[in-house]
Structure 1
Amino acid sequence: MTTHSDTLHRITAIVAAVADRPADDIAPESRLVEDLDLDSLQVVEIAVRAEEQFRTPVDDALLAEEEMTVARCALRAGRGGGDRPGDPHVSGQEPPAAWGIHGLGVHIPQRRVSNADIADRTGWTPNGSSA
């Protein structure tokens, strides 16, 4: 099980990499947008990297909230990125089916597609010739 301290350390490393700053310059109380001058794309990058690290969805809209600190970001990432009513990581309940991906009410199955998959289905190959 991951501790909050471990989660905070890992999120700090992610934020440091995205912000292109040394991890020692980033404090738990550093605000993502206001103090670290991160833009919306960088916040999305933090969410994506956190999802990869923790293997759980992290809602980038929550991370983009005003006054979002590195410590709060770690809390969100450590429990699946949300704190809306019915969030299973907060209340122990299943989320409403309408939430879908990032609360938009749309379910989009996510699957990585390789070049081989594309070539098999379309005849396309990475070097541009036909299969």
Structure 2
Amino acid sequence: MNKFNNSHTRPISPHITIYRMQMSMILSILHRLSGMAVFGGASIITWWLILCVYSDFDRVVVNIFYNLWFQALIYLTIFTTCFHLCTGIRHLIWDTGYGFSIKYINISGWIAVALSIIVFYMCINNF
């Protein structure tokens, strides 16, 4: 019996490699990553604002805003915030006990993605 256990080592619990990626799994992972990105972006923006108040860093910030890569980073940060907001609302609905059927989970996932794109588009057009 011991030889069998040593030669056929398998994970003790179900492992991620045996699962097929589903919409809920992907959105859950992206929600966590977007939360970290929003926190990092907010920290950097706060740091920049403090530097603008207490130094001549404001001239550098104005020059950076005209850089194409920085503008792309700003748009990505805005989209990440919109995505995190919409998927967070989805999680809050789950906290009330609604929407745990497979059909509703898939529909709410696509609604969250569509709403995040719409909210992002509305944010971009207002600036």
TM-score by length of 2: 0.25
Q: Relative contact order (alpha carbons < 8 A, sep ≥ 6): 1 or 2 greater?
A: 2
Larger helix fraction of residues: 2
- The higher radius of gyration belongs to 2
